[in-house]
Amino acid sequence: MDGGNFSAMTGFIFLGIVGNTEDKVTIYHGSNCLSHWPMANLGMMLLLEMDPQLHTSMYFFLGHLSFCVLCYSTAMHPKMIMDLFAKNKSIPFYGCALQFLVFCIFADSECLLLAVMAYDRYRAISSPLLYAVSMSSRVCSLLVAGVYLLATADALIHTTLAFRLCFC
């Protein structure tokens, strides 16, 4: 790669949404409708916390899945809406990296939590009499902690490797 441009960059400039105002309003209203999705996940988390009958492993994992989807779906939405009508459509390099990291952490957590939920259902079906012992609250907490640790490690690896690339 001799003779390339290796100048330091400080941010990214968004060029994708520079069309007419009508397109921007349509995108704004569409994303505004999608902003109600996190409220449904927040409602699910509150419902799971308030009802004692729902304090089982399946609903424990479902609550964490709702939390992941809440964070995953709101990781990029505020910045996109803010830049939709702004004159300066840019994001600092480290801001973009942080936004990508948060997005990846919760996207990975969502996938891993779905695998843990499948394992939970497998344990419930394969040995129903031993299910309460094999999936105790301690085991569930350790599984969720493992999910978040693995997701964070994976997201850190992807973010570090992606933002070490030359973007110029």
Which residue ranges make up each domain of the chain?
16-162
Chain centroid offset of residue 47 CA = 21
For residues 46 and 50, give the distance between their C-alpha atoms in angstroms, rounded to a whole number.
Answer: 6
Name the pTM for this structure.
0.78
- To the question of domain 16-162 being in CATH 1.20.1070.10, the answer is yes
The answer to whether the beta carbons of residues 41 and 67 sit under 8 Å apart is yes
pLDDT digits (tens, 9 = 90+) for 110-161: 999 999 999 999 999 999 999 888 899 999 999 999 999 999 999 999 999 9
